[in-house]
Amino acid sequence: MSTAPAPAERSASKPLHSADREMVGDVVSGDAAAWRRFVHGYQSLVRLRVADVSSAFGRGEDDEAIDDATAEVFAALVSHESAPLRAYQGQSSLATYVAVIATRSATRYFARNRLVIHDDEPDTSEGEQESGVNHDHQDHVARVINAGQQKRIQKLIDRLPPKERSVVSLFHLQGQSYAQISEKLEIPIGSIGPILRQAEKGLRRLMEDQG
């Protein structure tokens, strides 16, 4: 009478997530059709994870940034001769593995693109004073400062007048709300928006002067 194979024997004959490992093998071997299937199968998952991360950074409605970060995830997966995919051993499902990489990649993307410069806008300090909230950056974004500019921007911030420098640093670099900044600096909450806009105009001028 035959007996069922022991769990270890079953594992040896059929590795965990063998279909996932087979797909990864096809992708890293350079199979273009396999890559298209991979992207088609995981694009929604990756974009969902990226959108979750973007919301955590206060940019949940920034579709352009979400699309860019999603593309960056797939670029990361095939970077360094597909090293991240080659590292997949089938210990978890490929969906779980890709979701983890997507979360990490998106976190890096939004962290390095956190600092923004605002467009000129009409004074809305009255509304800000009533709400006391840290408004969604996307209402004001003129352009995003990328990682390569961070040190340069920090040097420019250091050249701002003391009050503007403090408000910009607390809001953009430390992510504090208008209410927190008002309490910390002992200034009216309604003055924070105008100070930010004035500081950002100064930053733009300094950047233009430097070319």
- Domain CATH code at residue 81: 1.10.1740.10
Q: 128 and 189 in contact (C-beta within 8 Å)?
A: yes
Distance between CA 39 and CA 74 in Å, rounded? 8
What are the tens digits of pLDDT across the range 28-71? 998 989 999 999 999 999 999 999 888 877 787 888 889 888 98
Average predicted confidence (pLDDT) for the chain: 75
Q: Identify whether 8 is part of a domain.
A: no
Place of tokens 């035959």: 2
The mean-pLDDT minimum among 99-108, 114-123, 131-140 falls in 131-140
Sign (positive or negative) of CA dihedral 68, 70, 73, 78: negative
Helix (H, G, I), strand (E, B) or coil at 88: coil
Task: Provide the pLDDT for residue 114.
Answer: 64
- Do 203 and 176 sit in the same domain of this protein? yes
Among 60, 93, 112, identify where a domain stops.
Answer: 112
Please give the structure tokens belonging to residue 42.
Answer: 């995981």
**What CATH number does residue 202 fall under?**
1.10.10.10
Asked which of 112, 138, 153 is the last residue of a domain, the reply is: 112
Q: Residues 16-29: pLDDT tens digits?
A: 789 999 999 999 99
Compute the distance between CA of residue 182 and CA of residue 190 in angstroms, rounded to an integer.
9
User: What whole-number distance in Å separates Cα of residue 181 and Cα of residue 186?
Assistant: 8
Model confidence, pTM: 0.51
76: which 2 tokens? Answer: 């990361």
Domain count, the chain: 2
b/e code 20-29 from CB counts within 10 Å (16+ = b) = beebbebbbe
Mean pLDDT along residues 95-118: 79
pLDDT surpasses 60 at 137? no
Residue 85 sits in which domain range?
A: 17-112
Is residue 76 within 8 Å of 105, Cβ to Cβ? yes
Residues 6+ apart with CB under 8 A from 77: 84, 85, 98, 101
Q: Are residues 206 and 151 in the same domain?
A: yes
pLDDT band (50, 70, 90) for residue 107: confident
DSSP string computed for 4-22: PPPHHHHHHHS-TTHHHHH
Residue that finishes a domain, picked among 81, 97, 112:
112
Ramachandran sector of residue 132 (left: φ over 0; alpha: ψ -120 to 50; beta: rest)? left
Residues 6+ apart with CB under 8 A from 35: 27, 78
